[in-house]
Amino acid sequence: MGKYDFIKTGNLLYWNDPDNGISSGGYKVISVPEEVYEDSIILIASDHSEAEVLASELSPIPPTRSHKEEFLKWREKQEADGTAFYNRLSEVIATEIDLEVGDMVAFTNDYGVVFGPYEILAFGKPWNGDRCVYLDSDAYWFADRPNQLTLMSKGTSE
């Protein structure tokens, strides 16, 4: 196993910008050479920019603590009060985006900062600017907008 095996096309990684951290943050890997060394050039991108960076400047984003258990308890209370939850985005809004429970997504906030990856836990009826996607994050009770999400990998519905 190589030191840079975590650098793969499509992965969400953290870029440690050597220019005083000006653009440090989460980025999606766009292209990777066949063999990756410390000085290999990797193309990364966010919704707002792209950059060619050295492999040595990238690091994995550590997994966050799961809030799935808390979400399930919260969901149970919401359902008791009449709130409905769904397994696919297409069940709550008209869309071509094929998101479903279990998919892993990156979340981009209104300032272009990327977080994640997060697992999709449920979908609800849209409110406040199409907020309808519940993620396994520390704000599991606050739905996010589909246009803030980038699919990282397809999961399996439970």
Together in a domain, 100 and 147:
yes
The answer to whether 149 and 133 have CB atoms below 8 angstroms apart is yes
pLDDT of residue 72: 96
- CA dist 70 and 26 (Å) reads 26
Dihedral sign, Cα of residue 116, residue 18, residue 112, residue 41? negative
pTM over 0.85: no
Tokens at 16, concatenated:
């440690």
Together in a domain, 84 and 36:
no
Mean pLDDT is lowest, of 5-14, 70-79, 136-145, for 5-14
In this structure, the number of other CB atoms found within 10 A of the CB of residue 146 comes to 19
Give the confidence band of 156 by pLDDT, cuts at 50, 70, 90.
low
Residue 137 within any structural domain of the chain: yes
The answer to whether 5 and 59 have CB atoms below 8 angstroms apart is no
Together in a domain, 38 and 102:
no
pLDDT of residue 1: 58
Residue 103 within any structural domain of the chain: yes
Together in a domain, 78 and 133:
yes
pLDDT of residue 158: 46
Residue 1 within any structural domain of the chain: no
Which is higher by pLDDT, 11 or 42? Answer: 42
pLDDT tens digits for range 77-120: 999 999 999 999 999 999 888 899 999 888 888 877 778 889 99
Give the confidence band of 129 by pLDDT, cuts at 50, 70, 90.
confident
Residue 6 within any structural domain of the chain: no
Together in a domain, 53 and 72:
no
Together in a domain, 31 and 93:
no
pLDDT tens digits for range 131-145: 999 999 999 999 999
Together in a domain, 42 and 107:
no
Amino acid at 30: I
- Domain residues for the domain of 142 are 68-153
Report the pLDDT averaged over residues 42-70: 88
Number of domains in the chain: 2
Together in a domain, 91 and 131:
yes
